[in-house]
Structures are given as C-alpha cells and as structure tokens.
Copies of this chain bind each other. A is one copy, B any other.
Amino acid sequence: MSENRERQERILAAAAELFVHYGYDKTTVDDIAREAGVSKGAIYLHFKSKDELFETLLVSEMQTYAEKWLELIDADPKGGTLAAMYKNSLYALNSSAFMAAMFKQDSRVLGNYLRKPDNFFRVMRDAQQESERYVFVKMMQDAGALRKDMDAKVIAHIMDMLAYSLVGIDDVLPNQDKPPTEDIIEGIAEIMDRALTPEGGGDSEAGKAILQQIAEASRQQLGIMKEAEQE
C-alpha cells in the first residue's frame, strides 16, 4: 500500500472511531487530524471537504461489511443455505459499530449529516428500485434455496426487521437480561433454517454461486459511488 494510501486509511480509521463515539456534529476536522496524527491541511489533501471524508467512510464501511460477509460465508460449511447467509450478514453487521449506526440511521452518530438535502442515504434510496435484501432473497428463491410458498418480499422485510432490531433495540428497550448477541443470532439462524429451507434441503452450491454474483454487482455499484463522490 502506498504511503499516501496508508495515511488516508489512518485518517478514515480515526474518523470512524470519533464519529461513532462523538457523532458527526461533535467531531471536528481538527479532532480527526489530531487522532490520526496528521495536520489539518493533510486531511484536505485527501478530501475536498468534511462531507467528502464522511461519505468516503460510508462507502468504505459498506465495502468492509460486504467483504466480511463473504469471508464468513466462505468459512461456513453450511454457508450456501439462505439461513446461513442471512446469519452471516448479521454477524458482519454486528461487527462494525459504524456500519450498525448506518443501518439503523442512528441520529446520534449521523447527526446533521442526515438533514442534508442530497446526502448519501437519500441518493442511494432514490437510485435503487428494489431493496438489496429483496433482490438477494428473490434470487435465492429462484435458485431453490427458499420455499416457494413464501413471499420473497415479506421474507426480505422480516430479515430487515430483525437486522434493524438486532442493532437498534438497545437504544430504546434496555433489557436487563438480554441474551448474548451470538445466542440471538444463532437463534434467528435456527428459526430461519427451519422455516425457510425447502423440503429436502436447499442447494447449497447454487446459493454460493448467487452470492458471488451479488457480491460482484455490489462491488461494481460501490465503485461507481466512489467515483461519483469524487466530483
């Protein structure tokens, strides 16, 4: 990795930590520079503005999330089933506080950035016709990895609900004896496995093939966004 690239990574890492802890509003460019051990000017050699830095971080976190997801699936013996794939997406989501904040649109972290008229999230929502989750579930169903008698749109939405509440429920419903997150995710996986796997078991290999396909498309889309952002 070039020295320049390495410094950019350091800046982004510092920014991620500060944004998660203090939020977009309370984190200043000076803070980021100090935390990353560079001068403020250096930040502006990498990013045109605070917002561009922030948006680069958003994209970067999404990429990291996608890669982590793929890794987990690859390492999972049952990785090709719909339930296992979904489960691993939850682990991936849960592994990054910043990504979790993005997913639940945490206003404490995203702050006034959310109010900007054409922020990253709005643009993304307007751009996509169908939710990524739905596309994924639909493909899995067509490939025989999800029972035909389930409505893919409904399943996709329930999956979003569970992901959302996995990272968001603590904010509003403090539960004294909440089970460990891992137990929750495994519980969800078991439920999904029983409820969604077609009779006779789904085709695990077909599932993995689909994932590669989606991953590739996703990488392309993120690449495009990264370019769009440079302008």
Contact = CB atoms under 8 A, between A and B. Distances in A.
A39 B153 CA distance: 50
Contact of A191 (B169, B179, B196): B196
User: Chain A at the B interface: mostly helix, strand, loop or mixed?
Assistant: helix
A142 interface: no
Contacts of A186: 154
A222 interface: no
A191 B172 CA distance: 26
A130 B177 CA distance: 8
**Residue picked from A158, A176, A186, A196, most chain B C-beta under 10 Å:** A158
Interface in A165-200: 165-166, 168-169, 172-179, 183-184, 186-188, 190-192, 194-196
Given A153-B179, A164-B165, A195-B195, A158 B190 contact: no
